[in-house]
Structure 1
Amino acid sequence: MLKYLSTVFLILGISGAAFAQSAIRGTVTEQGSGEPIIGANLILMGTSQGNATDLNGEYVIRGVEPGTYTIRVSSVGYITITEEITVGSSDLELDFELELTSASLTALEVFASRSDQTTPVAFTDVDQEAIQTQLGSRNLPEVLNITPSVYSTGEGGGSGDARINVRGFSQRNVAVMINGVPVNDMENGWVYWSNWSGVGDAARSIQVQRGISNVNLAVPSVGGTLNIITDPTQNKAGGSIKFENGSGALNKTTLQLNSGMINDKFAFSAVGVRKTAEGLVEGTWADEWAYHLAASYQVNESNRLDLFALGAPQRHGQNLYKMNTATYDRDYALSLDGYDPAAADIHWEKGRFFNANVAGVSNTYDEKQYVGDGAWYGASIQNRYSRDFINERENFFHKPQINLNWYSELSDKLTLTNVLYYSGGQGGGTGTLGDIEWDYTHNQRIADWDATIADNDPNGEANGILRNSRNNQWTIGDILKLSYQVNESFELQAGLDWRTAEIEHYREVRDLLGGRYYVETGDPFNPNYRAGLGDVVDYNFTNTVDWYGGYVQGEYATDKYSVYATGGISTIKYSHENFFINEGGSPLTRESDNIVGYQAKAGGLYNVTDNTGIYLNVGYISKVPIFDNVISDFNGAVNEDPQNEKFYFYEAGVRYRDPSGTFGFNANYYLTDRRDRSFTRGVDQPNGDEGLINISGLDQMHTGVELETSYKPTDWARLDVSGSYNLWEYQSDVSATYLADQGDPNSATELNLYLDGLKVGNAPQAQLAYVLGLQPMNNFDVQVVGTSFYRHWSDFDPINRDDPNDRAQTWQAPNYTVFNLHLNYTLDNILEGSSLFLNIFNVLDETYIQDATDNSRFNGFDQDHDADDAEVFLGLPRRYNFGIRVNF
């Protein structure tokens, strides 16, 4: 939406005949400087007069009939003005002031379907200042915990190993978009935040649209949508450099450079990030780079091209295994209700920074590791990160994304936006393969590397090795949108969305752990071959995903109300080629049919007063299944009748803004009804092939109320409080009978799941957030951010609840509150545009459980859904991040 921040002065003449034609004259100057803008564009919309004539910075449109018109004033690099004017019988004189801005930003916001106060959906904006102030080198989603019904954690503490949950849905059902392009995994919908570790440094803003949202692409906006806009090319030349240090030996440098506008046509910007850390949790070191490049070219008055490229080549150690609470802190475990002291006796207390995925090794072991064939790694065979330990779990990946955006005004009424994009990716994660020697001391499994090395033959076969699980991929896509302004109130929009992806999955030898080769027995085309470093082992297959989608949308808006409706359809097709399965002398190939999904949504907003609006939206999504529910990766079994999940959405809300700007609030109620959540089971088909079938019928209800308030009594103090109270529950049991052998009627297998009334776990169902901002002096800012979480039932797999005598709720983790402190001191009196900052997270050093899984198979005690049966990640203790930012 276009708007302007300056004053337009209208001077109306009163002389002349009642129906005489008039001239519109005007001047256009830069706001603040008063300098005339040569080459600005004035258009009287809806008439044949067209552009104004430029007379050395003064503009005139002649021969205008009396009446009411819309005039648009624009220039490259300035905010566009659209103003309604009334022309009388005399000449009309207009003075315009245009504010310098980034045209790329405005277009990006329109393309990315960003919401504003006229949009009837629940949303929260987190602006650049809040990101820079509160993030402090954490994972990007963690800054969003101040948003109602949003829960994000850093899980095990590895850099980029974050997850986010919105309205009780994991990020598989949360659309994440960067500059309007979806980045969820094409196979399963997941988001790997380590791939986007530099986005927080380049982000202009993040908009959290909760629920079905107003994004018109067919993306998984079930819990909501994270709509991230990065900083586009800047109009003013300059840049900044930021140095950061922090807990866990964090060192980070961020450099930003902007060319400014060149010949009113070109602009370039670049952000580069270098980050290293040892990590607080054992073995969670990080070695990262990140970049964000942008270029803009104003082709002519009606067309502009923008190019964006971003990525984050990185390696980091991981902590993927939750532990019994007593493993981290025995006293804290015993303080939990229901924790049996006998459970603490069998779990060895290792401290809050314990990581079961890392273990020491003799530094005399100096064999090299194969770390992949991506060019950014340097040499493929390298020394391991440390001579003193080996990471069982390490992540290494680079997923660049490149967008070419074209914005075109085809006419006064018709505009086009088109984004052609590419996203690649090379890398993977590590783990073990074969016979590893494990240390099970005190009920914990930790790799004994020295024993494994001793067990392998230094001149022959390695019984157990480290492997890389590779995920090499590419995606190309195009998103086309056409918008037609039927009249001043009614807009029609239509769009097409095409994506295609290919993903290679295989494992390769990373570390032979003292052996010379590993014998691979699973490749039918090369049986029992001796695999060395970098050779493929265990599995090797390639998947493809082909996606087509389209939508139409209409929006009618007046000063009093706005309504919109959207309908969309999408189709997806999967294929699979398995190089470790011999089918008639060739690799096995499988292909699904086209699977069709639908979405429909509508909403309306009514402004009761100038400061109060109420809104309502409803929607429906028929969501196509993920790859694994259609084709089995490992045996090629195909689900011949895959079933879509259905989601129904209902939401109503109210917004109020005090005319004085002192107080405002947003409140809303929502209901998301999830129907026919399905599972798949392997079956034998009559022709001897393996197949998949659906087990469906599981329903869930997600409902709640959300509130955001803001109070600013003075210029130097502001308090924001937000909260939500939710009810997320399973609504049905599941009972199904199927034939395990489709050709044998006696092979009936019964599946019963007892879930009705159980709480949906993995995120708190009630929360509060409070942000107090103070500016006790002009150059000193203080922010205190508190978050409180309640009613957090632990995660569990519904397929495991098959005991009719077990209807107990999963374990409920303790409530907790965490405070963070953010200080910023500007140095304008010493070095203009520079500042010092300090972030202290978990100021009170609270011990708390942030993630929990019920009745752990590996760390549970007596499997009765209480504290001693859960495996958990503790939140990180008090830590700091400080640095200096210099602008130039």
Structure 2
Amino acid sequence: MNFKPLKKSMLTVVITLSTASVYYAQTAKDTVSREKDIEQVVLTGVADIAKDRKTPVAVSTIKEAQIVERLGNQEFPEILKSTPSIYATKGGGGFGDGRVNIRGFDTSNTAVMINGVPVNDMEGGTVYWSNWAGLSDVTSAMQVQRGLGSSKLAIASVGGTINVLTRAADKKKEGNVTLGLGNDGYLKTLFSYNTGKSDKGWATSFLMSRTAGNTYVDGSQFEAYNYYFALGYKPNEKHDFQFTFTGAPQWHMQNFQSTIETLQKYGSADKPNRRYNSNWGYLNGEEMSQSVNYYSKPVMSLNWDWTMSEKSKLSSVLYGSWGRGGGTGVLGSINGTSINSLPKTADGLIRFDDIVSWNQGNAVVWNPSVAPGTGINKVNATPGIATRTNGLVKRAHVNSHDWYGFLTNFQHKINQNWNFSAGLDGRYYYGYHPGIITDFWGNSQYRETNDNNQKPYYTVTQAYNAVPSANPFAAAIKDKTQIASRNYDGEVMWLGAFGQVEYSNDNLSAFLQGSFSEQGFQRIDNWIVDGVTKQQGQVVNTKTGFKYLSGYNAKGGVNYNIDENHNVFVNAGYYSKQPLNYAVYPNSQQVLNPNLKNEKIGSAELGYGFRNSKFRGNLNLYYTSWKDRFTRITGLQMKDQAGVDTRNIYANIEGVTEIHMGAELELNYKPLDILEFTGMFSMGDWHYKGNAQGSLFDENNNAFTPQDGASSRTLYVDKIKVSDAAQTTASLGFTVTPVKAFKVFGNWNYYDKYFAVFDITKASSANSKGALELPSYNLFDAGLSYTFSLNNNQKLVLTGNVYNLLDTYYISDGKSSIFEGDSNAKGITYKGIDIANQVYFGFGRTWSASLSYRF
């Protein structure tokens, strides 16, 4: 995963009218107990925590005990994989490179929050889980609200909201030492201690951990740390202060998709090598990868809850985040051949020793069938000097940022039935995006030619280590004369206001919520000569100036408790959502998109719940329409009216619409105190609705009419399936507790109707085949935990898990849609899929175990 930290900053104001209630499957008595438990151990002042049989939204909650027992060495979002309409995978399999989709929406349209504070990338909306891998150590609960949810902020909760709730400083007095082991050298050590609350209202919480080893994939070394410090002070019943500072610096080698054909080459036809990673090899006998992600993103927050009176409360948080790091890649080529196309070893590894030798001017035989000194075997003409077109160096694209924000929420109880709240949300983000050299691979210098201020080139001689700094506040880059590959910054400002009105009585609860937000984007290209450099035919400046965009949303819902067993709810909402930064300044240039439009999202949901002492069930039906998605076709080549070949024609497509609808069932049955069953089934129909059109423009942004007179392009996307998440999922699980201290649990997950990634800009014909459906698959996991009670309330807790128990071969992620008979197909299939397709295979059988001493 390459980090693209929030490149632009924004300050947002949001106006919301809402009722906070959540759909959590539990009996009324247990629900009250669990909600109090959540409130006691986490920071909830500005977090919108949903309440069972009250908040009219679909919700699932994962508690701390389940994370401790079952997560092991899985990716953090995989703890959600048995939740309806969620598809969580390991991605390429690098540490922290996992991903999660909710109802067919990725994290750019799913809000991820920590204690109610949004953490989605402010430029692209994405979430990089490697930044947050350490959260699993300090999470007290994770709540997933599917759909628009109950959050009052104007956030991108189109698919849903993931709210991670961390431990508070005043958690009960306790210490913990943990040792964790797993497959492929996985090793985790952890120490934490909570003081509990003193008589004077002070409390502290502290945690440190280290995790290192490899994942299941070859060439996947990683090392990660996690630290957490919280200080709480409650001088009286009116005021409660909580200060937290947490971070998870890490580096990890990465894996990118390969074709099935390649995986078969280094495995076999029926069992492709699912461990194969094309990014690595050996240099001087040590593992070397061309793709390393390294990052540190500490977050500091200060929460203040002020109980102003019996009826009024003000909750506020000030926070800051300082991201430092980036992702590595390669600059240059050898005799016109990129690193990924150079001949590899017999095992498919990159020949790094030969790359260094060639860079230094030695003769290297890359291809024995080519005459020595000719073609790909030519000797380097400029030994020790690398450029963009000659010689190879390892570079990093830095994606650092400074992010500051505040959030304040005033709540007032008007009378026994009516409540309202209102607040402000402000954020400022500045992103730094230079490039640096991390390894010269035998060269002594790299010549950079893309800076328009220093023509024809300048020389770079300094290499930086691709590891996060021990100082979380360190400068993004110290020596600006040593920048290579790229050099731009971004600012984002966001300011919003929100308000909410809520009504509730014994059986009925209802809410109305609305928000308004204003965000501004500015792009800063440090390699541009002000008023001289041209991009897309326009003279541009280093700074674009801010482009401000407004958005709003409105949501409402009603929950009715028919009796103590049955309840129904309905909710609906509408979003006018600002486009992301890549739509404001397309193609990473300084030219503003002249056809900006807000995305329009409408959603409605109907739910039913049943509770009794042994059984709980939730059934949800949902419908979401997502209109005016930004889509651009680039790089077109066609003849103009005079018959002259013209390149770089583009079209901004308008009217792209997605429909996401489906049904979700979630069940829990406890026939005996020692036996509990869980189940889930979700079925979605996510597809594009209607075709879309866009006018043609040349590279100077002028309207373009080709020789054939067709001045627009049509995307034939009607009824094509939305890609990259299983539309049908199911799960069955059990937990047996034969004695109080001992648990055995297992889980079956089923995935179907998964459609591989499909670039809709390629749907230029009514005969487009759309997205490729991949084979369905089943996975089984099993585990246990045992608690040994010692003297003085001390405990030893043992956990063990086996994932993919049956060692199933399955494709977890499809990255292309090549059908049999396509021009680029191989004509050979694997489980019905042409082997030219690029994929990720899921991990084989893996395991983890831990031993914790709690005192």
- Normalised-by-shorter TM-score class: 0.7 to 0.9
The AA in structure 2 aligned to 1:439 is L
SS of the residue corresponding to residue 721 of structure 1 reads: strand
The answer to whether 1:861 aligns with 2:826 is yes
The residue that corresponds to 2:151 in the other structure is 215
- Opposite residue 544 of structure 1, the aligned amino acid is E
Structure 1 residue 175: Cα displacement: 0.4
Corresponding residue of 1:197: 133
Instruction: For 2:583 and 2:517, locate their aligned partners in 1 and report how far apart those are by CA, in whole Å.
Output: 18
1:719 corresponds to which residue?
A: 677
Distance 1:483 1:100 in 2: 19
Q: Who is 1:645 aligned against? A: 599
2:750 is the counterpart of 1:799: no
- Please say if residues 405 and 427 of structure 2, whose CA atoms lie closer than 8 Å, have aligned partners that are also in contact: yes
C-alpha displacement of 1:142? 0.4
Q: Tell me what 2:263 maps to.
A: 328
User: Retained in 2: the 8 A contact 1:631–1:637?
Assistant: yes
Distance 2:817 2:272 in 1: 21
Once the two structures are superposed, residues 390-436 of structure 1 have per-residue CA deviations (whole angstroms, 9 ceiling, x without a partner) of 20100100000111001001122111000100011100000001114
Residue equivalent to 2:462: 533
Whether the 8 Å contact between 2:411 and 2:422 is mirrored in structure 1 is yes
Q: Which amino acid aligns with 2:657?
A: D
Q: Secondary structure at the match of 2:235?
A: strand
Tell me if 1:838 matches 2:796.
Answer: no
**Aligned counterparts, 1:485-504, within 5 A:** 485-504=413-432
Q: Which residue identity lines up with residue 826 of structure 2 in the other structure? A: F
How far apart are 1:457 and its partner, in Å? 3.6
- Does structure 2 retain, via aligned residues, the 8 Å contact 1:639–1:693? no
* Corresponding residue number in structure 1 for 2:751: 789
Q: 1:288 to 1:744 in 2, by over 3 A?
A: closer
What is the CA–CA distance in structure 2 between the aligned matches of 1:141 and 1:100, rounded to whole Å? 22
Task: Please state whether the residue corresponding to 1:143 is helix, strand or coil.
Answer: helix
- The answer for the alignment partner of 1:16 in structure 2 is none
For residues 360-509 of structure 1, the aligned pairs below 5 Å read: 360-361=282-283, 363=284, 387-435=285-333, 436-437=338-339, 438-440=341-343, 447-457=350-360, 460-462=384-386, 463-509=391-437
Q: Where do 1:697-846 residues align within 5 Å?
A: 697-740=655-698, 741-743=700-702, 746=705, 749-806=711-768, 808-828=769-789, 832-846=794-808
Shift of 1:254: 1.4
Q: C-alpha displacement at 1:236, in angstroms?
A: 3.2
CA apart distance, 1:183 = 0.6
Counterparts in 2 of 1:103 and 1:249: CA distance versus 1, 3 Å: closer
Cα separation, 2, equivalents of 1:625 and 1:482: 29
Q: 1:557 aligns with which of 504, 511, 525?
A: 504
SS at match of 1:161: coil
Aligned length: 745
For 1:134 and 1:735, how far apart are their aligned partners in 2? 48
Output the amino acid matched with 1:752. Answer: T
How far residue 255 of structure 1 moved from its aligned partner, in angstroms, is: 1.1
Question: How many angstroms apart in 1 are the aligned matches of 2:260 and 2:502?
Answer: 53
Match of 2:224 in 1: 288
Q: Say which structure is richer in strand.
A: 1
**Superposition RMSD on alpha carbons, in Å?**
2.7
Q: 1:46 aligns to what?
A: none
Q: Give the counterpart of 1:543 among 490, 499, 518.
A: 490
Matched residue of 2:79: which SS? Answer: helix
User: Aligned partners of 2:623, 2:773: CA distance in 1, in Å?
Assistant: 23
Distance of aligned partners of 1:531 and 1:615 in 2 relative to their CA distance in 1, 3 Å threshold: same
For 1:776 and 1:123, how far apart are their aligned partners in 2? 30
Determine if contact 1:104/1:232 at 8 Å carries over to the other structure.
no
How has the CA–CA distance of structure 1 residues 832 and 443 changed in structure 2, closer, same or farther, with 3 Å as cutoff?
closer
TM-score, scaled relative to structure 1: 0.80
Distance 2:357 2:41 in 1: 63
Q: Distance in 1 between matches of 2:824 and 2:397?
A: 26
Q: Mark the CA change 1:204 to 1:492 in structure 2 (over 3 Å): closer, same or farther.
A: same
List per-residue Cα deviations over 1:38-73 (Å, max 9, x = no partner). Answer: xxxxxxxxxxxxxxxxxxxxxxxxxxxxxxxxxxxx
Q: Do structure 1's residue 115 and structure 2's residue 50 form an aligned pair?
A: yes
Query: How far apart, CA to CA, are the structure 1 residues paired with 2:571 and 2:738?
Result: 42
8 Å contact kept, 2:409–2:421 = yes
**In 1, distance between residues paired with 2:57 and 2:300?**
30
**Larger of the two Rg values belongs to structure:** 1
Letter in 2 for 1:699: T
Q: Alignment partner for residue 848 of structure 1, among 805, 810, 814?
A: 810
1:662 is the counterpart of 2:614: yes
Instruction: Indicate whether 1:611 and 2:565 are aligned.
Output: yes
Paired letter, 2:327: G
Partner of 1:583: 530
Distance (Å, rounded) in 2 between the aligned partners of 1:485 and 1:426: 43
Q: Which amino acid aligns with 1:880?
A: W
How far did 1:870 drift? 2.1
On the 8 A contact 1:542/1:577 being kept in 2, the answer is yes
The question of whether the paired residues in 2 share the 8 Å contact of 1:638 and 1:692 is answered with no
Question: Alignment partner of 2:547: what SS?
Answer: coil
Cα 1:680–1:573, aligned 2, differ >3 Å: closer, same or farther? farther
Deviation at residue 272 of structure 1 after TM alignment: 1.1
> Do the aligned partners of 1:244 and 1:884 also contact (CA within 8 Å) in 2?
yes
> Which stretch shows the higher mean deviation, 234-243 or 649-658?
234-243
**Mapped pair 1:355 → 2:286:** no
Determine the C-alpha separation between the residues in 2 that align with 1:101 and 1:665. Answer: 22
Q: Kindly provide the CA deviation profile for residues 631-652 of structure 1, in whole angstroms up to 9, marking residues without a partner as x.
A: 2464311123411111100100
Quote how far apart the aligned CAs of 1:858 are.
Answer: 13
Q: 1:325 touches 1:333 (CA, 8 Å); kept in 2?
A: no
Task: Quote how far apart the aligned CAs of 1:263 are.
Answer: 2.4
- The Cα of 1:694 is off from its aligned counterpart by 4.0
Q: Residue 213 of structure 2 aligns to which amino acid in structure 1?
A: A
- State the match for 1:674 in structure 2: 626
* Distance in structure 2 (CA, Å) of the matches to 1:110 and 1:431: 42
Given that 2:651 and 2:712 are in contact with CA atoms closer than 8 Å, whether structure 1 keeps it comes out as no
Q: CA deviation at 1:779?
A: 2.3
Superposition deviation, residue 325 in structure 1: 2.4
The question of whether the paired residues in 2 share the 8 Å contact of 1:149 and 1:706 is answered with: yes
Deviation at 1:137, TM superposition (A): 2.5
Describe the superposition over 1:799-819 as per-residue Cα deviations: whole angstroms up to 9, x where unpaired.
12223332x242211111111
Any conservation in 2 of the 1:323–1:859 contact (CA below 8 Å)? no
CA contact (8 A) 2:344 2:350 kept: no
> Aligned partners of 1:154, 1:745: CA distance in 2, in Å?
44
For the 8 Å contact 2:696–2:703, the answer to whether it is kept is no
CA distance in 2, matches of 1:877, 1:644: 43
Q: CA deviation at 1:351?
A: 2.0
Match of 1:124 in 2: 60
The Cα offsets for residues 596-629 of structure 1, whole Å up to 9 and x where unpaired, read as: 0110000000111122110000000111111111
| 1:826, distance to aligned residue in structure 2 (A) | 1.3
Query: What is the CA–CA distance in structure 2 between the aligned matches of 1:601 and 1:423, rounded to whole Å?
Result: 30
Structure 1 alignment gaps of length 5 or more: 1-97, 336-348, 364-386, 685-689
Is residue 631–residue 656 contact of structure 2 (8 Å, CA) maintained in 1? no
Deviations 1:774-801 (A, max 9, x none): 0122321101011111111111121122
SS of the aligned residue for 1:591 comes to coil
Picking from 544, 552, 564, the partner of 1:598 is 552
| Cα distance between partner residues in 2 of 1:446 and 1:247 | 22
3-state SS, counterpart of residue 486 of structure 2:
strand
Higher mean C-alpha displacement, 207-216 vs 732-741: 732-741
Q: Deviations over 1:628-678 (max 9, x none)?
A: 1102464311123411111100100011101xx111101110001111112
Paired residues of 2:726 and 2:751 also in contact (CA < 8 A) = yes
